[in-house]
Amino acid sequence: MTDNIQKLSIRLLKNSVKPSEALREGVDLENWQKIEGAKIALDTMGGTPPKWVDFLELSADEKNKVWNNTAYGLVFLNTSGRWFAVSFGMGHVKLDPAKFEQDFGLRVVLNSVDEEQLKSADVRTPDENTLSRRSQTSRGSDQTAFAIDVERDIIRGLAGTPKEKDFATRVAGSDALSMDRRLKVTDLPKACDDALAMYAKDNYKEHFSWVDQIKHVRQTDLLEKLDKAAALKLEAVIGGADPDGMHLAFPIIYDPEKGASIRYKGFRSKLVFPDLDLTGYLNALHDQGVTSFDVDDLRKHSVHEVDEYGKDCGKIWKINECLVLEAEVDGHTYVLSGGRWYQVAHDFATQLVDFFNNLKKEELPDALPDENEEKYNSRLKTKEVDLLCLDRKLIKPTGWTTPIEACDFLDRKARIIHVKDKTSSSRLSHLFNQGMVSGRILIVDGAARDLIRGKINEVQDETGQTNFVDIIAPDGGNFQSRDYTIVYAVIGTGDKPKLPFFSLVTLRQAVRELTALGYQAAFAWIKKPASVGVKPATSADGDQDEEAIIEEEGEAA
């Protein structure tokens, strides 16, 4: 038989896993004589009409014309001391992903692809609101065409043209390796051998070394160990240990103006809190006499958006989806964010901590227990505090279709201050981006500076403050960025500032850009006392809300 271009999908079994252990139930393997020691599974899935036939109210004869049958094939072969699975059709759905090496295909692609001939990239940006995207180009390009943020993004899949044409004409990979290769069936062991050899290389470090900085953890045994570490850390905090950066954050981009309160369920708590806060969760646990915590509680305890009566009125999340913490396990640093664990390269983590420790720090007034960003800014909008509040004073820069906020506060030391609550990394990312955008506009858009000066005059008329307007040079004036300090101010509980790992990454990027623009950059930690829970409101006769009681009884069941 002549050699033809064949599309192959190859997976590498973990070292101790046998082919029979890598299959889902209902799949039978047989010895395959074409290749020595190989095993094969062939079958057809389906045998039923698709669900939409009922909607169309098709007759029996009509249903027989659209019968679902999907063929699949799986070939297991052993070469170079390792087992491989080669799937055809829908064969991959019959495999247990936990039994295969993670990122096998991605590593092969990274080592084999021509770095100037990439065609597509699957990228995930982990955060409290994880962003996943696939980018494709019309012709081969380098990695800059895909706008990959090398300090934050995780590559989950990559496709392109390999440097060695004998290896393949096209490669793509994540856990599985997809390749187009000229071969006949007896060449399958050689194709797997070549893939394993490419997997073992470290060529990727020349052009893609940054992929090792952050890795999404998906190994079942490691995840179990990490969840146990998280449970132990939380149990220690319940017992009075320092949270050391542990906090709760919304796993989505949260609208702080919704007005919903927070209630923690799964352990009979009836306390209601004004905001998502680790201290509030701990108060709720203590109120119910909870002194221990195990892995199951990570999924049993939940966060609910509730109204003033403690009734559900919005979204619900498991506590592990909101928990943000860092853990050291077996000498490695891991981050739990948005319900996912990530491993951080040691050198990368050290660099970020050193950066934050060396960043200039500024002082701002403390926040009150019930204050969010809006309430804090409003309270400081007085003559007694020598800060001019520009919160919600929007201007539209030249050529922009949407207005922006120049800053939250301006002071006489030429500090341009931006404030946000520490409720999620996604909100902090917005804070850091806001500072960069404002900084650029102040330099290049004189007309926008005049609009800002107009807002300053409006505030001075409201508050009686004076002499702030000339801090910002007018259009045509001499605006020197080096005279200004961009201050990122974060409202959070605890005496010592500590940001989520991915927020540190974004902050460093923002500071680098501001420095390149000539600004000085600084950070301010606005200390906020922990919030205190309140009992749900009661009805007129003094009894608790009936629906809340029913929910608690359901939890007990």
pLDDT (tens digit per residue) in 13-46: 999 899 999 998 889 999 999 999 999 999 988 7
Segment holding 11, helix H or strand E: strand 4-12
How far is residue 175 from each of residues 54, 74, 154, 252, 301, measured CA to CA in Å? 37, 16, 14, 27, 32
- Rounded to whole angstroms, the Cα distance separating 442 from 473 reads 9
CB 460 within 8 A of CB 468: yes
Q: DSSP string of 468-529?
A: -GGGSPPTTS---GGG-EEEEEEEESSSS----HHHHHHHHHHHHHHHHTT-EEEEEEEE-P
Are residue 251 and residue 325 in the same domain, yes or no?
yes
- pLDDT over 50 at 556, yes or no: no
Predicted local distance difference test score (pLDDT) of residue 550: 29
Tens of pLDDT along 415-467? 999 999 876 556 788 899 999 999 999 999 999 999 999 999 999 999 889 99
Cβ–Cβ contacts within 10 Å for residue 400, how many? 13
DSSP state of 29: -
245: left (phi over 0), alpha (psi -120 to 50) or beta: left
How many C-beta neighbours within 10 Å does residue 334 have? Answer: 22
Cα–Cα distance, 72 to 60 (Å, whole number): 27
Which residues have C-beta within 8 Å of that of residue 396, sequence separation ≥ 6? Answer: 402, 403, 404, 451
Separation of alpha carbons 176 and 22, rounded Å: 14
Number of domains in the chain: 3
- 486 neighbors 418 (Cβ within 8 angstroms): yes
Give me the residue label for tokens 């259009």: 475
pLDDT for residue 2: 55
| Token code pair at residue 178 | 């997809």
Question: Per-residue pLDDT for 532 more than 90?
Answer: no
Of 88-97, 157-166, 496-505, the range with the lowest mean pLDDT is: 496-505
Question: Cβ neighbours of residue 452 under 8 Å, at least 6 residues apart?
Answer: 390, 395, 406, 442, 472
In a domain? residue 357: no
**177 shares its domain with 53:** yes
Do 80 and 201 lie in one domain? The reply is yes
Beta-ladder partners of 42: 73
Query: What average pLDDT does the segment 178-207 reach?
Result: 95
- Same structural domain, 103 and 183: yes
Residue 57 structural domain = 4-211
The contacts of residue 517 (CB under 8 Å, 6+ apart) are 439, 440, 443, 481
- For residues 205 and 91, membership in a common domain is answered with yes
207 with 224, same domain: the answer is no
Residue length of the chain = 557
Share of the chain above pLDDT 90, in %: 59
Position 424: which residue type?
Answer: S
278-305 pLDDT, tens per residue?
Answer: 989 999 999 999 999 999 999 999 999 9
Tokens of 230: 């998280």
Please say if the pLDDT value at position 551 is more than 70: no
**Pair of tokens at residue 413:** 């030391």
For residue 361, the model assigns a pLDDT of: 96
Judged against a pLDDT cut of 70, whether residue 546 lies above it is answered with no
Q: Is residue 557 part of a domain?
A: no
Quick one: tokens of 549?
A: 């009681």
Residue bearing tokens 């004036």: 477
Residues 111 and 159: their CA atoms lie apart, in Å, by: 12
Name the residue with higher pLDDT: 157 or 543: 157
- Residue 63 falls within a domain, yes or no? yes
| Amino acid at residue number 54 | D
CB burial readout 77-91, b (16+ within 10 A) else e? bbbeebbbbbbbbeb
Residue 226: exposed, middle, or buried by beta-carbon count in 10 A (0-12, 13-18, 19+)? buried
**pLDDT reported for residue 425:** 59
Average pLDDT over residues 207-219: 87
Single pTM value for the model: 0.72
231 lies in the same domain as 104: no
Q: What is the pLDDT of residue 548?
A: 31
- C-alpha to C-alpha distance for 337 and 321, rounded to whole angstroms: 7
Cα 131 off chain centre by: 6
Asked whether residue 546 is domain-assigned, the answer is no
Q: Kindly state whether residues 275 and 373 are assigned to the same domain.
A: no
549 inside domain? no
Between 343 and 370, whose confidence is greater?
A: 343
* pLDDT, position 539: 36
Predicted confidence at residue 410, as pLDDT, reads 96
- Give the model's confidence band at 150: pLDDT under 50 very low, under 70 low, under 90 confident, else very high: confident
SS3 372: coil
Q: Both 239 and 267 in a single domain? A: yes
Amino acid identity of residue 393, one-letter, is K
Give tens-digit pLDDT for 110-134.
Answer: 999 999 999 999 887 776 556 778 8
pLDDT of residue 337: 82
Based on the domain organization, do 241 and 337 belong to the same domain? yes
Q: How far apart are CA 147 and CA 132, in angstroms?
A: 13
Contacting residues for 157 by C-beta, under 8 A, at least 6 apart? 105, 106, 120, 121, 122, 134, 172, 173, 174
In a domain? residue 169:
yes
CB-neighbour burial class of residue 540 (10 A; exposed 0-12, middle 13-18, buried 19+): exposed
| 335, 341 contact by CB (below 8 A) | yes
Chain segment 462-489, per-residue pLDDT in tens: 988 999 999 999 999 999 999 999 999 9
Question: CA 202, CA 108: separation in Å to the nearest integer?
Answer: 10
Q: Is residue 512 part of a domain?
A: yes
Backbone Cα Rg of the chain: 29
> 292 and 326 share a domain?
yes
DSSP class of 246 = -
- Residues 322, 404, single domain; the answer is no
In a domain, 552, yes or no: no
Contact 305, 315 (CB under 8 A): yes
DSSP characters for 159-186?
EEEES-TTT-SEEEESSSEEEEEEE-GG
What tokens does 274 get?
A: 């004004």
Question: Does the pLDDT at position 267 exceed 90?
Answer: yes
